[in-house]
Structure 1
Amino acid sequence: MPVTAVGRAVSRAVCRAVGLVAVVALPLTGCASQASVRQAAGSTLTWGWSLPSTWDPVTSAVGNDVHALTLVYEGVTEVDEKGEAQPGLAESWTYAKDGRSVTFHLRPGLTFSDGTKLDAAAVKASLERGKTAKDSTIAPQLVTVERITADSDTDVTLHLTQVDYQIPLLLSGKTGQIVSPAAAKDAAELATQPVGAGPFMLKTYVPGSQATLVKNPAFWNAGQIHIENLVLKPAPDPSVAVAGLQSGQYDIADITASQVAGVKAAGFPVETTDVLPVRVLDVNNTVKPFDNPKVVEAISTAIDRQALVKTANFGYGTPAWQPFPRGYVAYNADLDNLYPHDVAMAKRLLAEAGYPDGVDVQLALSKADDPVGELIQQQLNAAGIRTTLTVQTPGVNNYITRRYPFVLDQFNARQSPVQALQVLFGPEGLMNLGKTTPEELPAAVAEAGGYALTDPAYPAAIQKATKIAVTGMPNVFLFTVTRFAAHSPKVQGLRNWVDIQRFEGVRVVT
């Protein structure tokens, strides 16, 4: 019999019990009695997060963009709070018996936010654009898709070059967000004027300032979208976070670990979520001195990850030597404490690499005042890795230009662990600055993708691929990321999402 995922309408009720797993925290807010509150008329929610680098999911090269893009685009599938694939535009999907194709059964009567028809042909066109567009950043994630057919108005089939059971996860993020084929004809315009089928429609947009969105009545799950207007602004500066919440400039604000104490002291709740992203050092191992594996090992050994968590990140997060958090299916326990902090060992490794008197490196930061960067500099200096800090030139995308060979970064995860390994370690992966890949990694990744997500053999296969990647590549993982959301008491129904933030069930009450 074919492997079938039976779609089900996912309840978005405000008060819903959320299963607790290792990487998912409890719901952000308690569920108030609906008898005691009422929805504010014409409710507006202002979210301090980050504006996208582009409104085109195909050319977006910033992992964090997915949260803003999900406001205006819906994927073929969604992921729930635990990161598991659920119905989206497709109400169900069916794998062929041999696993070499998967058919997604779209909900009938779907339309884009401009009123045009969203059918299998539109899904086909959108996915094909992601696969073939010149500037596509998602093409590597669609490499196993050989061709796409629209079999009827509601059935679209992805024919695969190999067995790949990760596709339902893959299509829940940017890779599967469906863009109107008409709008996609003008890529320059699409970058600022998106046309999708998500919960909201973009009304006005001032790059670098704010985006104003309104509820999309054509969204398939519009009954669970209670916010009429949503304003997206960059997260507040630490110096004005409290004032922004007090004045109502923000209803929800993404804040940093350094802001938590001050915001709590001002009387605002701060909810904490352990999420998939990790802080990491991107390393180009084709550039000296990083072309010597012992230098990279010395860097990893010189770093005191626990001190980074305690001092630079105010005690939030967990030391990490791999891109996945404990409890996640791809997490490999064999990698725990892979490179223990040992300054003497780091110096010996440098000497073995031909640098007995130490080595000079430049570490690129996205902003000048990153405390993690400053502490890493101190730790590396202590081991003879003389480090200077530089701020990346604004507007220069290092994933594309590879200008900086040593960068403090954050890996913002992907919906599929196989996709995550490709982004980090694949030959064309955005975070693989040297474009080198261990010879045995592609086969290990393909093997993991060949197991159904419910197959008992799947965890061991994906964990094997993780180990090959981490031990064979130069990326230096540091610690897991914690998301902090300060919010007004008027905002109710927020839920924790280990991956993509969504707003089903959220209300602004009086």
Structure 2
Amino acid sequence: MPTFSRSTRTNVPNLNRRTFLGASLGAGLILALEACGGTSSGGASGSGGGSGGGTIKWAWQLPTTWDPVTSSAGSDVQMLALAYDPITALDEQGNAIPWLAESWTYDKSGKQVTFKLKSGLKFSDGSPLDAEAVAKSIERGRTQDGSLIAPQLATIKKVSASGELDVVVELSEVDYQYPLLFAGKTGMVVNPAVFEKDADSLATQPAGSGPFAVTSYTQNDHATMKKNSHFFAADEIEVAAFDLYPQPDPATAVAAVQSGQFNLVRIGGAQVEQAKQAGLDVDVIESMFVSCLDVHSGMAPFDDPAAVEALKFAIDREKIKEVANFGIGDVNYQPFPPGYVGYNEDLAEVYAFDPEKARSLLADAGYDKPVPVVLTSSGFAPAAVELIQAQLNEVGFEAKIETIPGTQHTQLVYIEHSKALTYDGFAGRESPVQAFQVLFGAEGLMNPNRWSNPALEAQLKKVKETPTDAAEYPALLQEATKIAVTSYPNTFLFQTPSIVVRKGVSKLPASPSLRRFEGVTAS
């Protein structure tokens, strides 16, 4: 059984985080992961494993695509994890732990890391998932045209297979973030036999090794899945099928669970009391998701730093939280929750609501008339959007709301960068450096202007060159948070837990980033 020291593994320090990371994964799965070799007998043999039945009917969200490489929404990771396995996972403290890889080793230079895979791994079609397949999958994410995970893999120089189980990642610079990075979408392994033949097919037909395999998919409507008998922890999957749907209209969500249309639904804070009165089970699961305003500093009026700063002070986040989520969640001015290694205490009240200061900032900048701005919304939380509009107008903006269809939202805001101000959210990332790259990097999906701050880049270089279990790591990361929050226009509002209502489905294991279904039963 492998052991881990600094030479073999970089760890996020145990910082006594509060419950946002939740409890550990299912006990049975953890035992399987900790067993020498790490592969359950059911997964290794390809037998069904487990004796449960039933179907989970999960109304949550459909992915923008079933291809992890071109997925354009951070929250896609929840759905993609049904069909794909990442190389590593996160434990309840946010440390990287074995998943497809049973161990990893950095060399003394910090420029090479070798991931040793579990033996007997297979893709959902039964073909071997070996070191060569993993190397090709990583290489595709790094080099394919249109890859949206390529920026996170920029320090990889070469990936190769050494034998059947060892994946050798050679880096152009020291980077101790990869065991964390590979715990999410960036580390999800796609079957090379599929993408080498027809990569476009992955948009609707995933080819992974996760707990479920898609049998049919109707875009924007639903996906039908069955238990993947080749999943390495198949013995822990207690349901035979999994149906995935978009989140229902808030007005009908609770009734849809009562009627049996769905048995597991994500709801908003407004529906919590209704669900409880209906006798349904309601779980509030802490998450890394933070509601925010995405700001394009290359478009008027936010090409003026005074307008950006006025925006940050104009928002009464507590009221927005009350309206958007019925008070569930915590006001926050930065991308990480309190207790997380990247959370900077100095920023706890950095942009506390101050409408008078917002007015003064605009007046001092020479604005003697209301400043026009278009606030873009995908239709999510319209009451919150209207409140933000009113708060902006109160301090000297002239905000108008533009609602665009959800199916076009990602394209217009994050691909075409054509909107100045958008109400949205950031789903968090397994690696804090990756979170910075997505939010603030020169190629960052949620950095509409693609502006890069040299001071932040220099600080992140220090973070990447520091093992995550080193004593100086938290301070280095928190300084990066301070630089980013005070120099970029992104306006963070509040942490948003996942609220789940269920009927006939056992409680979900709480996990740091991904919703897991090992051990979950459905009647």
Which residue number in structure 2 is paired with residue 175 of structure 1? 186
Shift of 1:508: 2.0
Whichever residue aligns with residue 509 of structure 2, its letter is R
Partner of 2:35: none
| Corresponding residue to 2:492 among 470, 474, 477 | 477
**Aligned residue pair count:** 490
1:457 aligns with 2:472: yes
Structure 1 consecutive aligned stretches of length 4 or more whose deviation exceeds 4 Å: 25-29
Partners of 2:133 and 2:101 lie apart in 1 by 13
Task: Map 1:82-481 onto structure 2 (within 5 A).
Answer: 82-185=93-196, 186-367=198-379, 370-393=382-405, 394-396=407-409, 397=411, 398-481=413-496
Q: Distance in 1 between matches of 2:92 and 2:402?
A: 37
8 A Cα contact 1:27 1:494, kept in partner? no
What is the rounded CA distance, in whole Å, between the counterparts of 1:375 and 1:439 in structure 2? 35
1:15 maps to which residue?
A: none
Counterpart Cα distance in 2 of 1:346 and 1:405: 19
Residue deviations 1:125-160, cap 9 Å, x none? Answer: 111110111111100000111111211110011111
Output the CA distance in 1 between the equivalents of 2:61 and 2:91: 22
Once residues 271 and 175 of structure 1 are traced to their aligned partners in structure 2, the CA distance between those partners, rounded to angstroms, is 28
The residue aligned with 1:23 is 20
AA in 2 matched with 1:61: S
Q: Which residue of 2 aligns with 1:10?
A: none
Q: Equivalent residue for 2:509? A: 495
SS at match of 1:319: coil
Asked if the contact 2:506/2:521 (under 8 Å) is kept, the reply is yes
Q: Given the alignment, which residue of 3, 9, 13 partners 1:5?
A: 9
Higher helix content, 1 or 2: 2
Contact map agreement 1:282 1:476 (CA 8 A) in 2: yes
Task: Give the whole-Å Cα distance in 2 for the aligned partners of 1:418 and 1:26.
Answer: 24
3-state SS of 1:386 partner: strand
Residue identity matched to 1:23 = F
What's 1:69 paired with?
A: 80
TM-score normalised over the length of structure 1: 0.92
Partners of 1:496 and 1:189 lie apart in 2 by: 32
SS in 1 for 2:408: coil
Amino acid at match of 1:390: E
What secondary structure is seen at the aligned counterpart in 2 of 1:446? helix
Q: Deviations over 1:337-365 (max 9, x none)?
A: 11221111111100222213231100000
Tell whether the 8 Å contact from 2:25 to 2:516 is kept in structure 1 after alignment: no
Shift of 1:20: 7.4
Instruction: Give the superposition deviation at 1:86.
Output: 1.3
State the distance in 2 between where 1:250 and 1:72 align.
Answer: 20
The structural deviation recorded for 1:40 is 8.4
Please state if 1:507 is matched with 2:518: no
**Does the CA contact (< 8 Å) of 1:241 and 1:263 recur in 2?**
no
- Partner Cα separation in structure 2 for residue 498 and residue 316 of structure 1: 18
State the shift of 1:319 in Å: 1.2
AA partner of residue 502 (structure 1)? R
Q: Which runs of 5+ in 1 are unaligned?
A: 8-18, 32-38
RMSD, aligned CA: 2.1
Task: Compute the displacement of 1:175 (Å).
Answer: 0.4
Partners of 1:257 and 1:333 lie apart in 2 by: 27
**What does the per-residue CA deviation read over 1:482-503, in whole Å, with 9 as the maximum and x for residues that have no partner?**
1100011x32252112311111
* CA drift at 1:310: 2.4
Give the conservation status (yes or no) of the 8 Å contact 2:377–2:422. Answer: yes
Residue type of the partner of 2:510? N
Question: Does the 8 Å contact 1:44/1:229 carry over to 2?
Answer: yes
Alignment identity in percent?
Answer: 44
CA apart distance, 1:22: 4.1
